[in-house]
Amino acid sequence: MRNTASRVRLAAVAAAASIVLLAGCSSSDHSSSSAAASCEPAKGKVTLQYWNTVPDMDKVVALWNKQNPDIQVQTKNISNDQYGTISNALKAGKAPDLAQVGYDELPNLRTQNAFVDASACSAATAAQSKFVPWTWSQASFGGTGVFAFPQDTGPMALYVRSDIFQQHGLAIPKTWDEYATDAQKLHAADPSLDMTFFDPNNAEWFNGLLWQNSAQMYSYSGGKWHVSVESDQSKQVADYWQKLIDAKLVRTDLANGSTQMYAAYQKNQIASYVGAAWGYSMFRDNLPSQAGKWSIVPMPTWGTSAASGDWGGSTVAFMKGSKHLYESVKFNTWLNTDPQALALENKLGGLYSAATAGTRLPSLTQGVPYYNNEKIFDVFAESSKNIDTDFAWGPTQKTVNLSLQDAMAKAAAGHGTLDDALKAAQASALKSMKDLAIPAQAGK
């Protein structure tokens, strides 16, 4: 797991700045609006609402409910429209007690006054020692409170169809240049076979690629945000994938996790996948006939740099309006630190835990049968150690991601380039901050 205390300023920078900036954007206090902020235990049986997107999370919750008859939890899967559902519930004053929120979305939801500070609960502040330091700094908004508990992370790696690589005499690529060369060889040998796919509707994945190359999209100093989405490092990544797209060496018609994506892999049309730790269960559960054919290796690097990237990862946030903060803290602590809960979440939902106890799970130290009994989590653990610690999210990331995706889709269709997509995202970041009266300027 990521093991450095200075780990990613990410939302630690983003959210700390948001504390100041958002005071002028909202007239309501972030904690006083919730009667539960006093952290008083309920006098009777309590039922909590917990919304998430994790497969089979209801089975994990069922274990809690069996062991805790006085604090029952009802879970709702909102994977079809995670943030739309949360946003609508907030507007209607019907938010759940707890909700799964990605690290990159924390600053954005902060602007909607979405969270309650749980630091009034001693158990909430005591939980800090149970998590990898960098993840806690994101969820606590720069040490100003406890607004969420970290749940999982997404260190990236390369998933490889070993049999296809061996069939075509390809060595495992260690750099992105080698990866492009392999893609050319593969396609030349079999035009129906592509190295991978580029999902133009997945800004989060693309952000992970930018992160690996130390593309500093945002920074905060002098009382304002500095936006550098279209930095030289970002352009290097964009130009690389644009060349692969132009040469038709990668497909652009597949969405991550879609039925069409799995069908392409099932038909042996794609030889690799650039993904995150949580993706290991996707192939295991959806392509069972390919057991033993997949390997997971370090992500190709830029030159000699060992840097890796992160794609995804989430928190379980304490939502505004909850009347049962004490009980929410108790359940949230169990959900994200208890070894039995963590083992189930990894087994059923593929979560790569943000808790330090998660690194000691037997399932993460043993070989994985589907992946030819390779110790794949050793690869993800090493990836975690090599992720740039200076990457930061902006306070309007959702809006920026939508703009980026729209422009990437146009580029994939031959209308513009990925460089143009970066320019569009840069403009969107500046405009969205201006619309919220958040001081910002272009450049570092």
Each residue's pLDDT tens digit, 270-310: 999 999 998 998 999 999 999 999 999 999 999 999 999 99
Asked whether residue 193 is assigned to any structural domain, the reply reads yes
Tokens encoding 311: 């794609």
Please give the tally of structural domains in the chain. Answer: 2
> Do 285 and 162 share a structural domain?
yes
pLDDT score at 299: 97
> What's the confidence (pLDDT) of residue 3?
34
112 and 226 inside one domain: no
What is the per-residue pLDDT across 309-345, written as a single tens digit (0 to 9) for each? 999 889 999 999 899 999 999 999 999 999 999 999 9
Within a domain: 381: no
Q: Are residues 60 and 184 in the same domain?
A: no
Return the CATH number at 426: 3.40.190.10
Token readout for 122 is 């001693």
Tell me which residue range forms the domain holding 74: 10-153+311-367
- Kindly report the average pLDDT of the chain as a whole number: 89
Clarify whether residues 83 and 174 are in a common domain: no
Residue 435 CB: number of other CB atoms within 10 A? 10
Mean predicted confidence (pLDDT) in 180-202: 97
- Tell me: do 409 and 279 sit in the same domain: yes
- Domain annotation covers residue 382: no
Q: What is the pLDDT, as a whole number, of residue 22?
A: 39
Do both 113 and 147 map to the same domain?
A: yes
Hunting for tokens 């049962």 — which residue is that? 324
Residue 378 lies in a domain: no
50 shares a domain with 20: yes
Whether residues 190 and 220 fall in one domain:
yes
What pLDDT score was predicted for residue 37?
Answer: 60
In a domain, 88, yes or no: yes
State residue 307's pLDDT score. 93
Grade residue 2 by pLDDT with cuts at 50, 70 and 90.
very low
Residues 260 and 362 in one domain: no
Residue 38 has pLDDT above 90, yes or no: no
Same-domain check for residues 354 and 403: no
Same domain, 334 and 259: no
Question: Which pLDDT value is given to residue 345?
Answer: 93
Query: 250-251 and 196-197: which strand pairing?
Result: parallel
Residue 362 is predicted with a pLDDT of 86
Residue 377 lies in a domain: no
Query: What confidence score (pLDDT) does residue 85 get?
Result: 96
Co-location of 96 and 46 in the same domain: yes
pLDDT band with cut points at 50, 70 and 90 for residue 110: confident
Residue 5 has pLDDT above 50, yes or no: no
Residues 6+ apart with CB under 8 A from 58: 75, 77
Whether 270 is covered by a domain: the verdict is yes
Select from 211, 214, 209 the least CA-distant residue to 274: 209
Q: Express each pLDDT in 59-92 by its tens digit.
A: 999 999 999 999 999 999 999 999 999 999 999 9
